[in-house]
Amino acid sequence: MEKNKKRLYIIIIAIIILILIDQVTKALVIGKNFNLIPNIISFNFEEIIDGSFGVGFKGTFTFVLTNVIVLAILIKFMKMQKEQIDTKTYVALTMIISGAIGNVIDRIIRGYVVKFIQIFNLPTFNIADILIILGWVFLAIFFATFAVQVRKENKLLL
């Protein structure tokens, strides 16, 4: 099997698995609230109609359209740069795409995003949010590391 096809299949399977984990955890907590570790971690079911941290319009169509555009850009980037992207970058992009699709599924099916994990008094979040945030953090670290490496190599050439 061609390397790129094998990588594509692995990415698709990983996305499906991550979306399933997100959707199953959401389904398990709908309508439920309980403390996992009192005063530290609790599962508090919330229906989030607006965007993250209260930002955005209260309209499913706007959020779905915005997410679809961002997903299309990420997928196009992956397709165009498939020869240059390393495995860790693929992992980060797969996390972002999986999380975005998980939250879009909520908006389309339920009209809101299910949030349920609360640590201390921070805003409530879900598995999809964790995937998105970690994916972007990993990308930032990878790109910063790459930029430093290129800069060092360029200094050596001077």
- Tens digit of pLDDT for each residue in 79-117? 888 888 888 999 999 999 999 999 999 999 998 999 999
pLDDT at 36 (0 to 100): 86
Tokens in use for 10? 């692995």
Mean pLDDT of the chain: 88
- pTM equals 0.85
Beta bridge partners of residue 92, listed in sequence order: none
CA angle 129, 76, 149 (to 5 degrees): 75
Residues linked to residue 132 through DSSP beta bridges, in sequence order: none
CA-atom Rg of the chain in angstroms: 18
Report pLDDT digits (tens) over 136-151: 999 999 989 988 888 8
Q: Using an 8 Å Cβ cutoff, are 136 and 129 in contact?
A: no
The encoded tokens of residue 86 equal 């390393």
Could you tell me if 26 and 106 are in contact, meaning their C-beta atoms sit under 8 angstroms apart? yes
Write out pLDDT tens, residues 48-88: 886 654 555 556 677 788 888 988 998 898 888 888 888 89
pLDDT digits (tens, 9 = 90+) for 118-134: 999 888 999 999 999 99
Distance CA 125, CA 157 (A): 47
